[in-house]
Amino acid sequence: MTPGIRLTHSYFQPGTWKAIVAKPCGNREPSLPSGPLNPWICPQEGMLQHWELGQALRQRYHDFLNTSYHRQEVYVRSTDFDRTLMSAEANLAGLFPPDGMQRFNPNISWQPIPIHTVPIAEDRLLKFPLGPCPRFEQLQNETRRTPEYQNESIQNAQFLDMVANETGLTDLTLETVWNVYDTLFCEQTHGLVLPPWASPQTMQRLSRLKDFSFRFLFGIYEQAEKARLQGGVLLAQIRKNLTLVATTSPLPKLLVYSAHDTTLVALQMALDVYNGKQAPYASCHIFELYQEDTGNFSVEMYFRNETTKAPWPLILPGCPHRCPLQDFLRLTEPVVPKDWQQECRLASSPADTGVPAYSLVQATTWSQPFHLHSGSISSHLHTDPGAQCYRSTGSVSSQSLRKTSLAHVLLQLSLLFSLPFSGVKSFKGLPRLWCHCVTAHSLRLTPDSLMSPATPRKPLLSRTNDLLLPKPVTNS
């Protein structure tokens, strides 16, 4: 089952509200090249896990929720994936079994409850990491240059090579190896025999690397700003709902979000309550709003990550477990975006700085390989302090390019917008480049032996909207 989010808004007497964020779909089926298992659906065990979660929520809130389903009291939203939609359906079957007139067939203990969704490409609430967000991509590139990330890469290089050889996967990295663990874990859960190389020690190491991939996404470096661009978006909606309930605005008693493990981790990282471990299937994060005898409101959070135990209390840093609503809002304010789209823009973009962004490229013959690495230009390039150019923060992997026009575009994008590239590592036979970019950060990059101060070359330019692109030129 896929991880996800379920948010429950509830009115307790006298005036209590509850919100639940849960990880959906229980055990999902492994990604196999063939066979009866489908990696995108929620298998029987996963359905049972969510049905049991629905039963647990029914028991926890039996004095709060109506014994039968009322559409005015419940709103359910899911990401547009089969497994998250099925997770929500199974959960609601356990939470709201049909009662009396709602039983349309005496042999069927189930009733239909609407589940709302939006297309995946339009989901800006539940499908994490949210994008496109250039500033977040820039932060990820900067995270790749941190000592923690670099050390993790070095320590696991041979291990990743072994996994790549055993699986036949190419370009396996710290950021993609979680797919291997997910598949093996699902196979193991379904009683399938794992390949000999997938020993318990290997599975343990893969599990740890998956946990690291979550921290890479939402932590390690500039966690607060990452939160504003990711989990803070969902947290903003939760804060809005808390405030509306506290001001007696009518809301459904139960608001359910069914989404993914990245959704749950992004939210918990924004709240700074993440325990660093992958959330179990069908786990849930609970928000509860209480109205005190004084009329003031307070918030409690819980995390249900074990089926045999009561949910664990979660404590927002800087507040007691029962946190006054105003303190909760104040403490979470720093990780809530004011304008997500604006904050996602790079500070060096023309709209932000007022400085025209352009890239000048002069091409001549160059036989040396040109390497564009994560956040750096290789030793083939040197800096000229007399000019300005935004340094690359693009991440790269392997593919050889020989066409000047494509190389121009890739270099320009990496220099101006710090976009990640997943298919470019070295340029064999690429023409020599004279690059001159004007942005907020000053640096000029030119290849060794390209130019001498006495014989500067003029770049050729063409204009496309507000961005000057290099014209293709013939080798001189």
**pLDDT at position 221:** 92
Per-residue confidence band for 415, with pLDDT thresholds at 50, 70 and 90: very low
Picking from 119-133, 196-210, 400-414, which range would have the lowest pLDDT averaged per residue? Answer: 400-414
Note whether 266 and 237 are same-domain residues.
yes
Picking from 11-15, 261-265, 309-313, which range would have the lowest pLDDT averaged per residue? Answer: 11-15
Picking from 66-70, 139-143, 262-266, 428-432, which range would have the lowest pLDDT averaged per residue? Answer: 428-432
Q: What is the mean pLDDT of the chain?
A: 71
Picking from 42-51, 76-85, 109-118, 411-420, which range would have the lowest pLDDT averaged per residue? Answer: 411-420
The C-alpha atoms of residue 275 and residue 294 are separated, in whole angstroms, by 34
Retrieve residue 228's tokens. Answer: 């504003």
Picking from 263-267, 276-280, 310-314, 421-425, which range would have the lowest pLDDT averaged per residue? Answer: 421-425
Note whether 165 and 54 are same-domain residues.
no
Residue 1: pLDDT above 90? no
The C-alpha atoms of residue 23 and residue 304 are separated, in whole angstroms, by 10
Note whether 91 and 151 are same-domain residues.
no
Inside any domain, residue 61: yes
Domain end residue (candidates: 324, 341, 358): 341
Residue 108: pLDDT above 70? yes
Inside any domain, residue 40: yes
Note whether 203 and 331 are same-domain residues.
no
**Domain range enclosing 184:** 147-220
Per-residue confidence band for 457, with pLDDT thresholds at 50, 70 and 90: very low
DSSP characters for 215-280?
A: HHHHSSSSHHHHHHHTHHHHHHHHHHHHHHHHTT----SEEEEE--HHHHHHHHHHHT---SSPPP
Domain end residue (candidates: 165, 187, 220): 220
**pLDDT at position 283:** 87
Q: Which amino acid is at 114?
A: P
**pLDDT at position 19:** 59
Note whether 327 and 237 are same-domain residues.
yes
Q: How many CB atoms lie within 10 A of CB 156?
A: 19
Strand-pair partners of 314: 301
Residue 215: pLDDT above 90? yes
Note whether 154 and 202 are same-domain residues.
yes
Note whether 125 and 163 are same-domain residues.
no
Residue corresponding to tokens 């007399």: 386
The C-alpha atoms of residue 135 and residue 363 are separated, in whole angstroms, by 30
CATH number of 239's domain: 3.40.50.1240
Task: List pLDDT tens digits, range 347-405.
Answer: 764 444 333 333 333 332 323 333 333 333 332 333 333 333 323 333 333 233 333 33
Inside any domain, residue 441: yes
Residue 124: pLDDT above 50? yes
Residue 169: pLDDT above 60? yes
464 or 212, higher pLDDT: 212
**pLDDT at position 25:** 56
Residue corresponding to tokens 């709209």: 351
Inside any domain, residue 197: yes
Per-residue confidence band for 46, with pLDDT thresholds at 50, 70 and 90: confident
Q: Which amino acid is at 5?
A: I
DSSP 429: T
Note whether 293 and 351 are same-domain residues.
no
**pLDDT at position 70:** 87
Residue corresponding to tokens 């390209």: 450
**pLDDT at position 115:** 96
Inside any domain, residue 465: yes
Note whether 70 and 50 are same-domain residues.
yes
Average pLDDT over residues 39-50: 72
Picking from 13-22, 145-154, 334-343, which range would have the lowest pLDDT averaged per residue? Answer: 13-22
Per-residue confidence band for 458, with pLDDT thresholds at 50, 70 and 90: very low
Per-residue confidence band for 80, with pLDDT thresholds at 50, 70 and 90: very high
Inside any domain, residue 194: yes
Domain end residue (candidates: 179, 198, 220): 220
Contacts (Cβ under 8 Å, ≥6 apart) of 451: 434, 457
Note whether 68 and 109 are same-domain residues.
yes
Average pLDDT over residues 326-345: 96
Contacts (Cβ under 8 Å, ≥6 apart) of 164: 170, 172
DSSP 400: B
Q: How many domains does the chain have?
A: 3
**pLDDT at position 224:** 94
396 or 116, higher pLDDT: 116
Note whether 104 and 245 are same-domain residues.
yes
Residue 8: pLDDT above 50? no
Per-residue confidence band for 18, with pLDDT thresholds at 50, 70 and 90: low
Q: Which helix (H) or strand (E) holds 350?
A: helix 350-353
**pLDDT at position 42:** 61
Inside any domain, residue 11: no
Inside any domain, residue 3: no
Retrieve residue 253's tokens. Answer: 């008693």
Picking from 14-18, 185-189, 457-461, which range would have the lowest pLDDT averaged per residue? Answer: 457-461
Average pLDDT over residues 120-142: 93
Residue 417: pLDDT above 80? no
Average pLDDT over residues 51-79: 89
Per-residue confidence band for 62, with pLDDT thresholds at 50, 70 and 90: confident
Note whether 238 and 320 are same-domain residues.
yes
Average pLDDT over residues 451-475: 36
The C-alpha atoms of residue 451 and residue 443 are separated, in whole angstroms, by 16
Per-residue confidence band for 32, with pLDDT thresholds at 50, 70 and 90: very low
Contacts (Cβ under 8 Å, ≥6 apart) of 194: 184, 187, 188, 203
